[in-house]
Homo-oligomer: A and B are copies of this chain.
């Protein structure tokens, strides 16, 4: 048995890397910039160079490394082929084969949200569960679905794209994906702000939210302070998200939903608004699913990527 594995999480501005031991402990974390020139053709060579440098500096031989896991921001199929990553300039190619041109180690690749879900299952808020749905409430709404301990990749790597479940028939504005009424339009950080703006326009009641720059954090802080308008915003957020997760449950029937991303910093208060709506919309066979907070934060991706190798 090799001693270590490396987890890599490729983001739009930085690549996060981590060296993990067999028990899932992270021994070292570091970052390099994501160089997107020439359609991101330097990203994988940069990763190879950085890994070699890091290992040399720690006096670890490549022969001690079981493999490298990669999380990438685009649809990735079960063989590690990515189907475009717009943020990186990447077209369609096989990530393990491409990285092997620069680094002779076993490589596995997954979509970054799926890798993060895998990380939360392995060492995070979903530890101990083999069937979970990770929900990332950030700029958008991302998802990752773990079935019997494996990532649900789907036919074209779009498994778990739960932010684009249609949830509202009357939405006039378009989602980033071009559709109207996607879950992401209400449950992301920007979605919470949109809901808040609409409520503040329609609702005559006083609210602390009228006197400050709107953000998801401001809304949840106001909820915690008992602001009635903020509470109604939270109820609508919860209704949308609960409805969307009930649809997810009717398909995947998870043991637990692990909620992460910026919006989840509000903490357990979220569940007071999500759970009643979830229970209202969910099929009775799925109604007992648990809700947990993600615990790995921005490291979920490198944990999950390393976990692809170590599990």
Asked if A157 and B247 make an inter-chain contact with CB atoms under 8 angstroms apart, the answer reads no
Interface residues of A in 168-222 (CB under 8 A from B): 169, 177-179
Asked if B179 and A283 make an inter-chain contact with CB atoms under 8 angstroms apart, the answer reads yes
A61 interfacial by beta-carbon distance below 8 Å: no
Closest chain B residue to A280, Cβ basis: B179
Interface mask (A1-41 → B, CB under 8 Å = 1, otherwise 0): 00000000000000000000000000000000000000000
A interface, over-half SS: loop
Chain B residues with CB under 8 Å of A283's CB are 158, 161, 164, 177, 179
Asked if A152 and B252 make an inter-chain contact with CB atoms under 8 angstroms apart, the answer reads yes
Chain B residues with CB under 8 Å of A143's CB are 251
Q: How far is the CA of A156 from the CA of B253 in the complex (A)?
A: 7
Interface residues of A in 100-128 (CB under 8 A from B): none
Asked if A284 and B152 make an inter-chain contact with CB atoms under 8 angstroms apart, the answer reads no
* Interface locus among A225-233, A263-271, A285-293, A301-309: A285-293
Chain B residues with CB under 8 Å of A161's CB are 250, 253, 283, 285-286
Copy tally for this chain in the complex stands at: 2
Asked if B251 and A155 make an inter-chain contact with CB atoms under 8 angstroms apart, the answer reads no
Asked if A75 and B285 make an inter-chain contact with CB atoms under 8 angstroms apart, the answer reads yes
Asked if B166 and A246 make an inter-chain contact with CB atoms under 8 angstroms apart, the answer reads yes
Tell me whether A247 and B165 are in contact in the complex, defined as CB-CB below 8 angstroms, given that A179-B281, A283-B177 are known contacts: yes
Interface residues of A in 247-267 (CB under 8 A from B): 247-255
Asked if A169 and B169 make an inter-chain contact with CB atoms under 8 angstroms apart, the answer reads yes
A238 interfacial by beta-carbon distance below 8 Å: no
Chain B residues with CB under 8 Å of A248's CB are 251
A274 interfacial by beta-carbon distance below 8 Å: no
Closest chain B residue to A242, Cβ basis: B166
Known: A148-B150, A159-B253. 17 other contacts (CB 8 A): A83-B285, A131-B154, A131-B155, A148-B153, A152-B252, A154-B253, A155-B253, A158-B285, A159-B252, A160-B251, A161-B283, A164-B250, A165-B246, A165-B250, A166-B243, A179-B283, A247-B251
Chain A residues close to B by CB (< 8 Å): 75, 78, 83, 131, 143, 145, 147-148, 150, 152-162, 164-166, 169, 177-179, 243, 246-255, 280-281, 283-286, 288-289
27 A/B residue pairs, CB under 8 Å, sorted by A: A75-B285, A78-B148, A131-B155, A145-B251, A147-B147, A147-B154, A148-B153, A152-B251, A152-B252, A154-B252, A154-B254, A155-B253, A156-B286, A157-B253, A157-B285, A158-B286, A159-B252, A160-B250, A160-B253, A161-B250, A161-B253, A161-B285, A165-B251, A166-B243, A166-B247, A177-B284, A178-B284
